[in-house]
Structure 1
């Protein structure tokens, strides 16, 4: 990997982090909070629906593809060093799961890290297999996932009233205390974590696809890489995006198709577009690109920070802006998203001027290496003691 290729991955990861906030910000700024997210699906105005379309599911899928590309790099590194695989990678996945669990309990109901951790364990055992085996796994899991989305969508269309249940909006996030919200996450763990049923199969497909795109040279500065990026842009932006726009306005019954089925196709187009533009860029990176690249280098820290800051801005235990500025939707939501993005871009850049990794990444790396450190041998200890 050249430094330029790594920068492209960091840039894409930073864009994905900012894009996931573009989806989640609508949850934070709803006066009912995450508890009211399903009921809100049937209520957005035309402008808000269009704005949600721009981010919904697409950057989650892009981030998932990049996790797969990262897993491929770690597999290559292990093979190059002759280290058993998956080996210590399973410990890495376990740490990611614990981090996601803490993030879920303390900050945000719709954490994706737990789902990524479970997915990475499965894919770790697949990534080293033959191309034929990987293709079979991708097709089979992808077909099962698409069939599941189809069945659930048929159910939603048959009983649309179940999506907009008509219950009173929750006041937990507009008036409740922080401890009450934490207690609610623990109590409703199964309900809030149901998304993992969809995240894991979708993640398996996108992890494997991200790995195969890396092997195919999608980030390489070559004719093959350029041709592959063009095909991705056509499939994702010329085909996937228009279809996704239709489902965004088709009603709440199409929610699952709109969030989980079509966005991965659009994400492939975004990946191809950003990688192409990054390759064509000349000169030193500007403020925006530098900031997004630094966010990509501190992705875990930025992901947690954006959700923590959004909670403090919007919930009742913080500034309570979701309730007080409800009449200004959707415009104040855009301002909140832009402000939080500017914050974590600035902080990541300042942090990386002094440190190699983000704060969460540093702690995570320490925890990852801790059990691998070998204790000093007794005879070595005696020798050192004698010298002193």
Structure 2
């Protein structure tokens, strides 16, 4: 494989982390707090709606597909080394759940790591099963998503008042603990949609989505065409108004994500290694994805919440165009800073700090195929 194809997953992952933050930053920037998501964003400029629509769910879906690709690679590694599967992966999922729970309680109401951990336990069992079993499981999960999205769409757009969001960090922690039923309700959709996209990511890797042959190129072109359909559906749902939010986030977004999965590797092959510092920074973010995901949300919390710099409250008094510009500039600064810090970190370490912590908690691999395990006593 060429260097461009080898770097494609890291580039995609870096774009997914940056794009996911492009969704999250609007939650932090709303002075009403995260509950405003359920009431609907208001008081903004038309450009705010466009920017939120571009980011909403698309990059999170891409990240979910890449998580499934990662699971497939770990499964292959276990089979190659003769290690029982899922085996230790279940411990990895448990650690991920705890990390997500801490992220939710201490930082951000809309954490996705908990949902990934739950879905990965099921998919870890499915990934080694027959194609018929995987398709059946994915179809059941997909049907459930369609049912819930349809019900939400028929129910209409959310509305109503938003309770005051605590100004102190401890108050916000208490709000997340007491409001877990509200803020974690999205897991009803995150988990089954993650099951579908994990399995799809695994299947696409098996089909050669990163392969350099003609079949791989055809697959990527097909995915790009699917992405074009997703873009059209996104435009239609955006024109339909807030009532179509769930369709956009859970049905259109995965189609766009599939398109990105096909388009980005093709563009990387055409770039012939060009991209310079920007590409290097995106790759670094991709290689430290979990650390950057959590770190970006921590920085945003400090910048926007009242117990930090209180930028959300300040922006509430600023005219819409200027407010939009500030939010975009903060996003650019945080993402650029993530790339710079991640690049510097990787000069001395082979993985991000949270990724290294997970590895340390799992301990060394004592599988029969590892050199340490096969060494004579």
Q: Is the 8 A contact 2:56 2:253 kept in 1?
A: yes
**Residue 66 (structure 2) aligns with:** 66
**Residue 372 (structure 2) aligns with:** none
What displacement does 1:345 show?
Answer: 0.6
Which runs of no fewer than 5 residues in structure 1 stay unpaired?
374-382, 384-388
Q: Is the 8 A contact 1:247 1:257 kept in 2?
A: yes
**Residue 371 (structure 2) aligns with:** none
The structure-2 alpha-carbon separation of the partners of 1:371 and 1:134, relative to structure 1 and needing over 3 Å to count, comes to: closer
What displacement does 1:42 show?
Answer: 5.0
Aligned residue pairs: how many?
Answer: 365
**Residue 348 (structure 2) aligns with:** 354
Among 340, 347, 351, the residue aligned to 2:334: 340
Segments ≥4 residues shifted beyond 6 Å = 370-373
Q: Is the 8 A contact 1:35 1:170 kept in 2?
A: no
Among 293, 303, 326, the residue aligned to 1:303: 293
1:277-321 deviations in Å (ceiling 9; x for gaps): 112221454111110000010011100110000001000011101
Q: Is the 8 A contact 2:165 2:172 kept in 1?
A: no
Q: Is the 8 A contact 2:4 2:273 kept in 1?
A: no
**Residue 263 (structure 1) aligns with:** 253
Which runs of no fewer than 5 residues in structure 2 stay unpaired?
368-376
**Residue 377 (structure 1) aligns with:** none
TM superposition score normalised by structure 1: 0.90
Tell which deviates more after alignment, 2-11 or 342-351.
2-11
Partner SS state of residue 333, structure 1: helix
Tell which deviates more after alignment, 112-121 or 130-139.
130-139
The structure-2 alpha-carbon separation of the partners of 1:168 and 1:88, relative to structure 1 and needing over 3 Å to count, comes to: closer
**Residue 184 (structure 2) aligns with:** 193
Q: How does 1:197-212 map to 2 (within 5 A)?
A: 197-212=188-203
Tell which deviates more after alignment, 274-283 or 197-206.
274-283
What displacement does 1:329 show?
Answer: 2.4
Query: Is 1:229 matched up with 2:220?
Result: yes
Measured in 1, the distance between the counterparts of 2:2 and 2:173 equals 44
The structure-2 alpha-carbon separation of the partners of 1:256 and 1:292, relative to structure 1 and needing over 3 Å to count, comes to: same
1:245-265 deviations in Å (ceiling 9; x for gaps): 221232221111111111000
Tell which deviates more after alignment, 221-230 or 128-137.
128-137
Measured in 1, the distance between the counterparts of 2:145 and 2:273 equals 43
Q: Is the 8 A contact 2:233 2:252 kept in 1?
A: yes
Tell which deviates more after alignment, 328-337 or 78-87.
328-337
What displacement does 1:41 show?
Answer: 3.2
Partner SS state of residue 34, structure 1: coil
Query: Is 1:319 matched up with 2:313?
Result: no
Measured in 1, the distance between the counterparts of 2:39 and 2:206 equals 42
CA-based RMSD of the aligned residues comes to 1.9
TM superposition score normalised by structure 2: 0.93
Among 159, 164, 183, the residue aligned to 1:164: 159
**Residue 150 (structure 1) aligns with:** 150
**Residue 89 (structure 1) aligns with:** 89
The structure-2 alpha-carbon separation of the partners of 1:41 and 1:372, relative to structure 1 and needing over 3 Å to count, comes to: farther
Measured in 1, the distance between the counterparts of 2:109 and 2:326 equals 23
Q: Is the 8 A contact 1:115 1:196 kept in 2?
A: yes
Tell which deviates more after alignment, 43-52 or 66-75.
43-52
What displacement does 1:25 show?
Answer: 0.6
What displacement does 1:368 show?
Answer: 1.2
Q: Is the 8 A contact 2:64 2:198 kept in 1?
A: yes
Query: Is 1:119 matched up with 2:102?
Result: no
Among 236, 258, 270, the residue aligned to 1:246: 236
Q: Is the 8 A contact 2:16 2:59 kept in 1?
A: yes
